[in-house]
Chains A and B, each alone.
Chain A
């Protein structure tokens, strides 16, 4: 299988099929990071498209010496997610209402029991809702560590902060999330 770096080189030389291969390889990861962060499929799709558009336009600026292509893509994804969060913060006038009522993303995941959901590999709608209540810094740390299973070193590259900060944010994010779920009335399974 061709390395990402080689595909990037071919893309820069105008090979459309190399770009297509890159897209196919990385869409799943990008989409998952977006969805876990925003908790909404439509928004996650829109942001994923923006990510690839940005990557396509700035492909020449990718330097393999600075890390893997996947890490670079995750970094671009994270930046756009933060931008999106700041843009939509103004629109979130119903924050106080959201605090009172748990936001339910998917009816299916709520209808199933937590142990059933765990068996199916689904994240419960409540946990997803809880995630979207975390502050962006804590949210991205928890998503990258616990949902995307990235190593500390990679998260450090994506967020551009020291490893100590990464660990601290992950820790605080987890505790905060547990407290939010407790407030929502979700009992740990």
Chain B
């Protein structure tokens, strides 16, 4: 049976996909080898198939998916606004943002408190620049005074304690030396005292002088104190 061109065409895809076996395949190939029409046809179809099968799928055009969703899900605009807001808020729930927001809030709170605006009875007058300046300067002075007093208290206590501790063992109580002023009234005795007195006596003088110096600061602090 001779293989015809019609048969070749009918079985062309089967041949190219490897579905022809044995005798059929041999007859097919024999015909193709001889036929001036079928030979080129088989080759061009083979080339075409491999070209098409090698072609990559096209990328989806941008916006197509969005258009499809808009068309199908319809009035999504309102939902997406709230969804967007929700997503935005959810995105803010990060530690970094939380810390930043907290510190900003704290700063604002401190500023507002310092400005002297009353939280219980807020008045618009409280926000005027002169009021704010007065409040701020008053607050600053008060804070400064407190700080100075606190530090001074600490210093005085510390100094007294340390000096007393230091000289406790060595010092012998000399009543007349606690009042250096009275000594100065007798001009001769001053020189004699400073030269002839033992070391402990000098130290006692030193201590007394320092206590007096520290005590002298009390009135200054008291002046500044608003309490």
CB within 8 A of A146: which of B14, B41, B53, B72? B53
Q: A127 with B56: in contact, given A23-B69, A24-B65, A49-B68 (CB under 8 Å)?
A: no
A32 CB to nearest B CB, Å: 5
Instruction: Encode contact with A along B178-217: 1 for CB under 8 Å, 0 otherwise.
Output: 0000000000000000000000000000000000000000
Residues of A within 8 Å of B, CB-based: how many?
Answer: 42
Asked whether A189 lies within 8 Å of B51 as measured between CB atoms, the reply is yes
Asked whether A31 lies within 8 Å of B64 as measured between CB atoms, the reply is yes
Asked whether A48 lies within 8 Å of B47 as measured between CB atoms, the reply is no
Asked whether B49 lies within 8 Å of A49 as measured between CB atoms, the reply is no
CB within 8 A of B68: which of A23, A114, A149? A23
Asked whether B48 lies within 8 Å of A19 as measured between CB atoms, the reply is no
Interface class of chain B by DSSP = helix
Interface class of chain A by DSSP = helix
Cβ-based interface call for B61 (8 A): yes
CB within 8 A of B13: which of A45, A118, A170? A170
Asked whether A123 lies within 8 Å of B52 as measured between CB atoms, the reply is yes
Question: Which residues of B lie under 8 Å from residue A170 when comparing CB positions?
Answer: 13
Instruction: Encode contact with A along B78-114: 1 for CB under 8 Å, 0 otherwise.
Output: 0100000000000000000000000000000000000
Instruction: Encode contact with B along A113-126: 1 for CB under 8 Å, 0 otherwise.
Output: 01000101111100
Question: Which residues of A lie under 8 Å from residue B43 when comparing CB positions?
Answer: 188
Instruction: Encode contact with A along B56-68: 1 for CB under 8 Å, 0 otherwise.
Output: 1111110011011
Question: Which residues of A lie under 8 Å from residue B64 when comparing CB positions?
Answer: 27, 31, 45, 48-49
CB within 8 A of B10: which of A149, A171, A174, A178? A171
Q: A49 with B71: in contact, given A123-B52, A124-B51, A174-B12 (CB under 8 Å)?
A: yes
Can you list 8 A-B contacts with CB-CB less than 8 angstroms, sorted by A residue number?
Answer: A23-B69, A31-B58, A53-B68, A124-B51, A146-B53, A177-B48, A178-B48, A181-B44
| Chain A interfacial positions (CB closer than 8 Å to B) | 16, 19-20, 23-24, 27-29, 31-32, 35, 41, 45, 48-49, 52-53, 56, 114, 118, 120-124, 127, 142, 146-147, 149, 167, 170-171, 174-175, 177-179, 181-182, 188-189
